[in-house]
């Protein structure tokens, strides 16, 4: 547990003034299989897009003080300790004041009477908050300020029975509380005191205005218990026997919380526009499904002994991608398979801690990123036993990816880091094409004829020869970012991980050493020399490379050090500032948690004696 005192100026009229949002690592994460919410140490829900991950927000204080919030916290100074209830994403925060202590339990409700892998496919759209007195007496304040469509629209709060109802932009919100609430035009507030054993309940329901359900009384303690049981039933299908079992289970839960359960797709993160540099930079929208992340998540979860509906996931992917023909494969999709994710800047939100831009959509959807071809086919290869007999639409998808790799590998692309400038011949993009064809050949006649396999194998071998000749820079003494480049790039660490070259090969070993010497600071690996923050998944890739090179003890020490960089709830953003240790980028970041899972699995393999 991390505990620290937090001081806030208490406004004369609680709820009429916002306080500044916290740092990225100050947030906890709630999820219901459709969307995610961020809750700060100060008890404020500062981000929630209730209809789905990439929908407009109703709370966006994360990106602007006036973007909407719902806080419940002590009226004076307090110390914070928080944790998830075991094997859930139900968050319990204990506030300790000079007069006593109080717990606030928060969750997004899961579907009732649904258990196992089907949980989260039809959540009720309900945010639950339960306040419990633990000791002494604690004066509390509540402030509720919904702001629709990313803070652009304020709606009147109307009282219907015991429910405060707000309607705008096709959305209806209903807030209930067991304490007296002072209602103003577009905000509500409350002041109350809790004593030991006293419970006060709060709930916020979401529905479409045009399919509105009548507000119903909510049994908050009972629904919280059902939600916790639902999460536990979901994780019970995970039976991982390897190293770091508690840490692996926790990260499986986090990836579960980043899943749009209706389709089974994993979003890259639950937020948009959280900067990756302290001064504000690369503030992109990550609430979408990257083929790379989706494939890596499936592979990591499968290896972590999770029950995956592999056929359902690949059939969704085949349907979402469609018949690409000779067009570039879409490297990212909306959570229901949308292709057009056109990027635009919002002028209503100022940005997280620094001024914008705040972006909706992501123009990376227009890019060619060749490594994604290999990631998808590799995931299918790892999960092949769950794809027998292989459905025709999945076969067509994998075959088309292999054909595109064979036909287009000589083309430049934007690379896995999504460079928005000139396309280049990135080494990891070529390796992704190699992997696509290598796995396609391994599938054999399941995917193609004997002539196809011969053609794919020839292209695979040609790509490998080109990488070894043009990707290796003898003057640098390492594999570099792109053909003809002299710049180190941590993405090269994937080469031994995906089986392109052994980690102990002299060229790869030299590359690993150069990356350790020039891109690594205090265990954190930067992607390239002029970057100011460590990229979390690259740091875990270094763990895997060390383990593959036979340095298991050093790899384990680095892994444990990196795992300790998560916040107090075990959550990672995308990057970590090398000077301050602050987390940077969208949050929680699936890529980072996939990296931790994969590294834990690799260390387990490295510690298992060969048969």
35 falls within a domain: yes
Q: What is the pLDDT of residue 21?
A: 66
What is the number of structural domains in the chain? 2
Does a structural domain hold residue 429?
Answer: no
CA-CA distance, 215 to 598, in Å (whole number)? Answer: 44
The last residue of one of the domains, among 165, 197, 212, is 212
| Domain endpoint, select from 151, 178, 212 | 212
Q: What is the DSSP letter of 99?
A: S
Whether residue 136 is contained in a domain is answered as yes
Predicted local confidence at residue 212, as pLDDT? 59
Confidence (pLDDT) at 214: 63
Q: How do residues 288-344 score in pLDDT, each as one tens digit? A: 999 999 999 999 999 998 888 899 999 999 999 988 777 889 999 999 999 999 999
Residue 94 belongs to a domain: yes
> Residue 473 phi/psi, 5° resolution?
-110, 105
Structure tokens at 160: 């219907």
Residue in the structure block whose two tokens are 């979390």: 536
Cα separation of 535 and 468, whole Å? 26
Q: Pick the last residue of a domain from 183, 212, 241.
A: 212
Long-range contacts of 354-359 (CB under 8 A, 24+ apart): 354/275, 354/278, 354/279, 354/280, 355/280, 356/273, 356/280, 356/283, 357/273, 357/283, 358/63, 358/64, 358/150, 358/272, 358/273, 358/283, 359/272, 359/273, 359/283, 359/284, 359/285
Tell me, yes or no, whether 424 lies in a domain: no
Q: Specify the pLDDT at position 586.
A: 97
Residue 352 included in any domain: no
Give me the CATH number covering residue 56.
Answer: 2.70.98.10
pTM recorded for the entire structure: 0.94
User: Does some domain include residue 57?
Assistant: yes
Give me the residues of the chain with pLDDT under 70, please.
1-21, 114, 212-216, 278-281, 609-611
Per-residue model confidence (pLDDT) at position 546? 98
pLDDT at 509: 98
Q: Which residues span the domain enclosing 124?
A: 5-212
In a domain, 154, yes or no: yes
Q: What is the predicted pLDDT for the residue at 14?
A: 32
């Amino acid at each position: 547990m991390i505990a620290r005192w937090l001081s806030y100026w208490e406004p004369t009229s609680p709820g009429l003034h916002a306080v500044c949002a916290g740092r990225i690592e100050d947030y906890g994460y709630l999820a219901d299989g459709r969307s995610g919410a961020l809750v700060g140490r100060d008890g404020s829900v500062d981000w929630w897009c209730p209809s789905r991950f990439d929908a407009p927000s109703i709370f966006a204080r994360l990106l602007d003080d006036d973007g909407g919030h719902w806080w419940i916290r002590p009226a004076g100074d307090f110390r914070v300790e928080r944790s998830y209830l075991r094997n859930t994403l139900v968050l319990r925060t204990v506030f300790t004041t000079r007069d006593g202590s109080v717990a606030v339990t928060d969750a997004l409700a899961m579907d009732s009477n649904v258990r196992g892998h089907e949980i989260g496919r039809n959540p009720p759209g309900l945010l639950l908050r339960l306040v419990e007195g633990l000791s002494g007496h604690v004066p509390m304040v509540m402030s509720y300020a919904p702001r629709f469509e990313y803070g652009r629209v304020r709606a009147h709060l109307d009282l219907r029975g015991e429910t405060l109802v707000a309607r705008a932009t096709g959305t209806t919100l209903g807030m209930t509380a067991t304490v007296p609430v002072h209602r103003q035009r577009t905000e509500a507030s409350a002041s109350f005191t809790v004593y030991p054993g006293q419970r006060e309940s709060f709930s916020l329901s979401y529905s479409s205005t045009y399919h509105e359900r009548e507000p119903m009384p909510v049994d908050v303690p009972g629904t919280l218990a059902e939600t916790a049981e639902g999460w536990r039933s979901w994780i019970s299908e995970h039976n991982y026997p390897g190293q770091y079992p508690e840490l692996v289970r926790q990260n499986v839960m986090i990836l579960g919380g980043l899943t749009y359960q209706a389709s089974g797709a994993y979003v890259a993160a639950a937020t948009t526009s959280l900067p990756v540099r302290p001064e504000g930079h690369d503030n992109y929208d990550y609430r979408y499904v990257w083929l790379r992340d989706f494939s890596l998540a499936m592979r990591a979860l499968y290896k972590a002994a999770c029950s995956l509906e592999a056929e359902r996931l690949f059939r969704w992917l085949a349907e979402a991608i469609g018949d690409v023909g000779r067009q570039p494969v879409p490297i990212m999709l909306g959570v229901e398979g949308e292709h057009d994710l056109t990027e635009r800047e919002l002028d209503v939100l100022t940005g997280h801690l620094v001024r914008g831009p705040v972006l909706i959509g992501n123009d990376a959807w227009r890019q060619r990123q060749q490594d994604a071809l290999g990631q998808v086919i590799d995931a299918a290869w790892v999960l092949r036993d769950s794809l027998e007999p292989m459905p025709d639409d999945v076969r067509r998808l994998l075959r088309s990816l292999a054909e595109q790799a064979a036909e287009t590998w000589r083309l430049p692309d934007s690379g896995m880091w999504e460079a928005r400038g000139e396309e280049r011949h990135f080494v990891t993009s070529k390796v992704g094409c190699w992997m696509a064809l290598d796995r396609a050949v391994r599938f054999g006649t399941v995917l193609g004829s004997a002539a196809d396999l011969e053609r794919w194998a020839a292209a695979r071998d040609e790509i490998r020869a080109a990488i070894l000749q043009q990707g290796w820079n003898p003057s640098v003494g390492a594999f570099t970012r792109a053909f003809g480049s002299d710049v180190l790039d941590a993405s090269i660490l994937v080469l031994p991980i995906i089986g392109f070259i052994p980690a102990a090969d002299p060229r790869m070993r030299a590359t690993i050493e150069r990356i350790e010497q020039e891109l690594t600071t205090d265990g954190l690996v930067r992607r390239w020399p002029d970057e100011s923050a460590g990229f979390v998944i690259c740091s875990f890739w270094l763990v895997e490379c060390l383990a593959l090179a036979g340095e298991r003890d050093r790899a384990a020490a680095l892994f444990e050090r990196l795992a300790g960089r998560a916040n107090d709830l075990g959550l990672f953003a995308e990057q970590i500032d090398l000077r301050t240790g602050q987390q940077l980028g969208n949050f929680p970041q699936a890529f980072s948690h996939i990296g931790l899972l994969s590294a834990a699995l690799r260390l387990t393999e490295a510690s298992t004696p060969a048969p």
